[in-house]
Amino acid sequence: MKLVTKRDLWTIGGFLLFVFGFTALTMSLVGVKWSFLSWMDEISPLVGLMGKLGMIILGLIIVVLAQMHTNRANNP
């Protein structure tokens, strides 16, 4: 039985951040909102757009960094 590693948790977190940001962005095109992200749109539509794009980009960065294989034992 394999235990869940920190790498797996970071990957899942980044993926969820990406998915929520992407779905929130696409849903806002038809006028539907996630209730827990509606505070961004109440400040300003531009803040909402930038927040959702930020979630997408940050989620991708987290997934890529979590999946990078670094072997510190071989690197001096």
pTM of the model: 0.82
Look at residue 33 and tell me if it is in a domain: yes
pLDDT at residue 70 in the model: 63
- The answer to whether residue 14 is domain-embedded is no
Q: Which of 23, 47, 43 is nearest to 33 (CA)?
A: 23
In a domain, 9, yes or no: no
Q: Is 5 exposed, middle or buried (0-12, 13-18, 19+ CB in 10 A)?
A: exposed
Per-residue model confidence (pLDDT) at position 37: 87
Which residues, other chains included, contact 18 with Cβ-Cβ below 8 Å and sequence gap of 6+?
A: 55, 56, 59, 60, 63
pLDDT at res. 33: 87
- Which pLDDT tens digit goes with each residue over 14-71? 999 999 999 999 999 998 988 998 899 899 999 999 999 999 999 999 999 999 876 5
Band of pLDDT at residue 2, cut at 50, 70 and 90: confident
- Tally of CB atoms within 10 A around 40: 22
Considering the domain boundaries, does residue 73 fall inside one? no
Domain span holding position 38: 20-67
Is the residue at 3 inside a domain? no
Q: Total structural domains in the chain?
A: 1
In a domain, 13, yes or no: no
Total residue count of the chain as it appears in this document: 76
pLDDT for 5: 87
